[in-house]
Amino acid sequence: MWYQSDIFWVIVKIIILFGAMITGAAYYTLLERKWAGYIQDRFGPNRAGLWGILQPLADGIKFMTKQETIPKNADKWLFIFAPAISMTAAILLWAAIPFTPVFKQVPEFVRNATGQQDFVFQVMNPSGGLIYMTAIASLSVYGIMLAGWSSNNKYALLGAVRSTAQMISYELALALSLSVVMILAGSLDLVQIIKAQEQRWFIATVPGAIAFSIFLVTMFAETNRLPFDLAEAESELVVGFHTEYGAFKFALFFIAEYMNMITLSLLAALLFFGGYNIPAFIPDSVRAAWYAPLIGSAFFFFKAFLFVFLFVWVRWSIPRFRYDQLMNLGWKRLVPLAMANLFIAGLWVHFT
């Protein structure tokens, strides 16, 4: 039957994943505004729907109905194309993330209905999943650079140049920290990296803890979030690279940023905290059940949510760095530390 084909279920996964991505990013903005209000002793959004839960929908309607404008002397096609690059890169990243382990004991009625002997919620599983993630993530800088250049605005161009230099600087340290994960796991496959942490999470090892510390700093820089939002510093650059953007084109940049934060939160949980591995305190009888992968996924999302929350907490707690401090931290501190940690990881694997 047509609904039992592999292609059909890949399409179903893509549709579900895309809906979850957009919805998750939208309600992430609500979480941030609510928590910002709590920190600042004020109310967050509370008018649209019960407790403001319809505020993301109201924001979406506003973005889609506002007038689209393009600066007079801008490069029209690049101006339109730039936010699409950032959004596309953010979407492609989610395709390789394994959200669940393999359901090997699928109930009989599910097996008969779908024609699937086992099931995993992952659109694709490339053998070099870690390389795929870093390669796609690096493409987002093109959207930012083209947005600043095509706008024909000095503030936008300066913000784009800042962002490009920042992302190149911190991607080097990020890649070196991910190389440590590859050494510890002995694989670039994301599923194998999770499997390698069945007995001990990588955060519990010396090189893994150092790599995580570097990853934690770089994920704020990679997403242009406080205290590293120098590309959008309002006091210096208006709003940086997207100064000339409004309506739906701005919404694409906005949503892509929140989607990237969720992606990096998922990666942090996956690479250093065991991903969907079920904790040792769960009884063996539960581990053997067909629904055990759902429990593993629940723990995975809980770990990722802690990092999602951390992004919000840090934004309203730590002041912005100066640009020279940002670059010094990246090149003079994180890169040398990450390179030294590669040597430590090699020794760790050899002697343990």
Q: How far apart are CA 159 and CA 147, in angstroms?
A: 10
Note the pLDDT tens digit of each residue in 1-16: 655 677 777 788 888 8
Q: How far apart are CA 278 and CA 133, in angstroms?
A: 24
Label residue 118 by pLDDT band (50, 70, 90).
low
User: If 0-12 CB within 10 Å is exposed, 13-18 middle and 19+ buried, where does residue 175 land?
Assistant: middle
The residue behind tokens 């730039």 is 82
Q: How far apart are CA 232 and CA 215, in angstroms?
A: 22
Label residue 234 by pLDDT band (50, 70, 90).
low
Contact call for residues 144 and 232 (beta carbons, < 8 A): no
Contact call for residues 85 and 139 (beta carbons, < 8 A): yes
Give the CA count within 13 Å in the CB-facing half-sphere of 239.
Answer: 10
Beta strand ranges found along the chain (DSSP E): none
Assess whether pLDDT exceeds 70 at residue 105.
Answer: no
Among 106-120, 174-188, 244-258, which is the least confidently predicted range? 106-120
What is the rounded average pLDDT of the residues 26-45?
Answer: 89
Whole-model pTM?
A: 0.89
Assess whether pLDDT exceeds 60 at residue 112.
Answer: no
Note the pLDDT tens digit of each residue in 208-228: 999 999 999 999 888 888 888
CA 264, 314, 58: angle at the middle one, nearest 5?
75
Q: How far apart are CA 274 and CA 194, in angstroms?
A: 6
The residue behind tokens 């096609």 is 77
CA-nearest of 297, 296, 302, 230 to 265 is 302
Q: How far apart are CA 23 and CA 32, in angstroms?
A: 14
**43: which 2 tokens?**
């109310």
Amino acid at 172: L
For 37-50, the DSSP string reads: HHHTTS--S-SSSG
